[in-house]
C-alpha cells in the first residue's frame, strides 16, 4: 500500500499520479489525496487507486476513513 498527496491537482491528474506511484513503488494500491484538503484538518477524502480502477471515499473524519481504507484492503487480500 502506497500513499500519495498532491497539491493543486484535479481528480484525473491525482489518479494518474497515483497510478505512476503504483508502477514506481510496485504497489498494489495507492491511497491518494489532495494536500489542501488533508493537512490541518480533521477530515479528508481520498481515492483508493489500483491499476484498473479508482474509488473515491468521500469527505469524512480521518478516523472513519482509516477504518474504510482498512476494510477495503482486507477485501483485496
User: pLDDT digit string (tens) for 6-47?
Assistant: 999 999 999 999 999 999 999 999 999 999 998 888 999 999
Paired residues of 44 in beta bridges:
60
CA 51 to chain centre: 13
Sheet architecture: strand order including 2-6: 2-6, 30-34, 43-49, 54-61
Query: d(Cα 61, Cα 67) in Å, to the nearest integer?
Result: 10
Q: What is the pLDDT of residue 64?
A: 97
Q: Do 59 and 44 contact (CB within 8 A), yes or no?
A: yes
Amino acid at each position: 500500500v502506497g500513499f500519495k498527496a498532491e497539491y493543486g491537482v484535479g481528480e484525473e491528474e491525482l489518479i494518474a499520479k497515483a497510478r505512476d506511484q503504483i508502477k514506481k513503488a510496485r504497489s498494489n494500491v495507492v491511497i491518494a489525496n489532495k494536500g489542501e484538503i488533508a493537512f490541518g484538518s480533521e477530515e479528508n477524502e481520498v481515492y483508493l487507486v489500483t491499476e484498473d480502477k479508482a474509488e473515491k471515499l468521500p469527505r469524512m473524519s480521518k478516523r472513519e476513513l482509516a477504518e474504510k481504507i482498512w476494510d477495503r484492503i482486507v477485501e483485496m487480500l
